[in-house]
Amino acid sequence: MSAQLEPRPRLRPMRPADLDAVLRIEVAAYAFPWSRGNFIDSMASGYLAELLLAPDASLIGYFVAMSGVDEMHLLNITVAPAMQGRGHGNALLDVLLARCREQGVPVLWLEVRASNPRARSLYARRGFVEVGVRRGYYPAAQAGREDAIVMRLDRGS
């Protein structure tokens, strides 16, 4: 008897033609989503932007990260709300860490909303440490602005 393998999600670079699908997820996932212009500017600037696609080519999630000198900064990582809790966020982080290794990048930075314990927990489990706070970094409906927790993963060289 041979085991039948389930088709696996696949990755590919984000392209402008993907932005309608990306924005549908972005708007569903966040009260203050990135704009089309944010994504276009990121791609035009050469930022690392990748999609995670289901076997049927539907969009599961994506990330956008900016390279710097000896560092990478994760700007946006999002999984479609209907697909959350299935390990896709971890898979996207795995891809980003692989890209860091490929580029010889020793440090990965990110900001996360102080009110997002689920994401903070995921990052902590992956080895990120909280290193600071950016006061009033994010827009927020109730308080006007919300703090961001700055996290860092030092993965060596």
78-135 tens-digit pLDDT: 999 999 989 999 999 999 999 999 999 999 999 999 999 989 999 999 999 999 999 9
Number of Cβ atoms within 10 Å of the Cβ of 81: 11
Q: Which of 47, 62, 123, 138 is catalytic?
A: 123
Number of Cβ atoms within 10 Å of the Cβ of 91: 17
Exposed, middle or buried: residue 67 (CB in 10 Å: 0-12, 13-18, 19+)? middle
Give the model's confidence band at 156: pLDDT under 50 very low, under 70 low, under 90 confident, else very high. low
- Domains of the chain in sequence order: 10-154 (3.40.630.30)
pTM, 2 dp: 0.90
In this structure, the dihedral spanned by the alpha carbons of residues 130, 136, 140 and 141, taken in order and rounded to 10 degrees, is 140
Residue 111 annotated among the catalytic residues of the structure: yes
Q: Which of 26, 50, 111, 146 is catalytic?
A: 111
